[in-house]
Amino acid sequence: MMQGCRVLLGLSGGIAAYKSAELTRLLVKAGAEVRVVMTEGAQAFIAPLTFQALSGNPVHTHLLDPEAEAGMGHIELAKWADLIIIAPASADLMARLAAGMADDLMTTLCLATEASVLLAPAMNQAMWRHPATQKNARTLQTYGYTLLGPDQGEQACGDTGPGRMLEASAIFALLQSHRDESSSPVSNTQTQKPLQGRTVTLTAGPTREAVDPVRYISNHSSGKMGYALAEAARDAGARVNLISGPVQIQAPEGVNLVQVNSACDMLEASLQHLPDTDIFIAAAAVADYRPDNAADQKMKKQPGQNELVLRLVQNPDIVATIARHEQRPFTVGFAAETQDVENYAISKLMRKNLDMIIANDVSRSDIGFNSDQNAVTVLWKQAGSADPATPDIGRYQPDQASKTTLARQLITQISDHFLHSNT
């Protein structure tokens, strides 16, 4: 879909500018015609000559460059583009775009163009979380701009968190998807997103099962994968209900956050949202058992008591309950396993009557509960299998990636299967 597409690639100041060289290469290889615009800050990190060599076109750096004006002025450049992608998009550039400023070539082009404008934010995690940046991001989305990312993980400054620019390959894939959704350059406010008008309900994080008012049984789930899926579903156009156990991360803007503690609370909230739910994704790490009777007061250690015996009872199976409900939505489960991952996941897919299941190995420290990375296998029952009792199993196994990047790929898979099941 990128063949012949006229892409205007903008770079603002940031260490992530080096990734845009690879993005340029991917675009040119796919047949796109690429012209590059760089701010003064971007040129401090990478030389314009790099992009001239990769794109095969002169790089534009000044609003009133007489040489550029003689060939293609800034208005003509704005009209030329089929789409504009700014990667990296710094906090400063986002603020200036949100304010409607036109004080350099980049911001002037964005005001003057009628093409789709996509931004790949890149900044320190504290800058991204700052209320001013979050407000600017929401404002830009109301203008019709599309934000790609940011990703989470280690940053050049040594911090860890959201704010990393997506990898070039991920941005390229999203540009292809954007181009595929619209064969002509239109404002992305007019672009139909795959889950537009649909409602996605997700569970995320751990549950806490009370032993007494100060103690509980829980697990190591951070909620990162579920929260990333909620953000990706929102960006795909869905209305999102995020039913979350206790976590230490901020919910994405624009989703309906429902905070719960126990498995019973999570089931109750899930059932309340079921009538309006089209897709249910059970990403939470729900405790399998809870104490039979939680004490009303803090349990005291008794003299001479060397052990304490707790009687546990089984918690309700949330995803199985949803999958067997008369108002059953398209239901996706997770299988967090430590051994024989795929076989356990297929067993769960069948036993719980799921449409899809996403399996991952939580015994690995690099992709476990608190990691920013993940590697999964998506499994589903193939339609038209000869024996319904032992159907053929479809598989999709994306490369290991950050949970943010992986969430977008998973939502694409889920939406494709959901829409196919409704045709």
Length in residues, the chain:
423
Residue 297: phi and psi, rounded to 5, are -120, 160
Structure tokens at 233: 């579903």
Return the residue matching tokens 């939470």: 284
What whole-number distance in Å separates Cα of residue 101 and Cα of residue 365? Answer: 46
Does the annotation list 352 as a binding residue?
A: yes
Q: Which residues contact 24 (CB under 8 A, 6 or more apart)?
A: 9, 34, 36, 51, 54, 55
Positions of E strands within 28-112 = 33-38, 59-60, 83-89
What whole-number distance in Å separates Cα of residue 369 and Cα of residue 155? Answer: 20
Of 118, 226, 228, nearest to 162 by C-alpha is 228
Does the annotation list 276 as a binding residue?
A: no
Q: How far is CA 333 from CA 82, 86, 216, 349, in A?
A: 39, 36, 25, 8
Does the annotation list 316 as a binding residue?
A: yes
Of 86, 81, 37, 42, nearest to 62 by C-alpha is 37
What whole-number distance in Å separates Cα of residue 366 and Cα of residue 181? Answer: 35
Does the annotation list 348 as a binding residue?
A: yes
Does the annotation list 224 as a binding residue?
A: no
Does the annotation list 318 as a binding residue?
A: yes
Q: Which residues contact 383 (CB under 8 A, 6 or more apart)?
A: none
Does the annotation list 280 as a binding residue?
A: no
Please name every residue paired with 330 in a beta bridge, in sequence order, or none if there are none: 279
Does the annotation list 330 as a binding residue?
A: no
What's the burial of 159, exposed, middle or buried (CB within 10 Å: 0-12/13-18/19+)? middle
Catalytic residue among 5, 110, 157, 264: 157
Catalytic residue status for 110: no
Return the residue matching tokens 């003509």: 76
Does the annotation list 298 as a binding residue?
A: yes
- What residues act catalytically? 157
Mark the binding-site residues for CTP, compressed into ranges.
288, 298, 316-319, 334, 348, 352
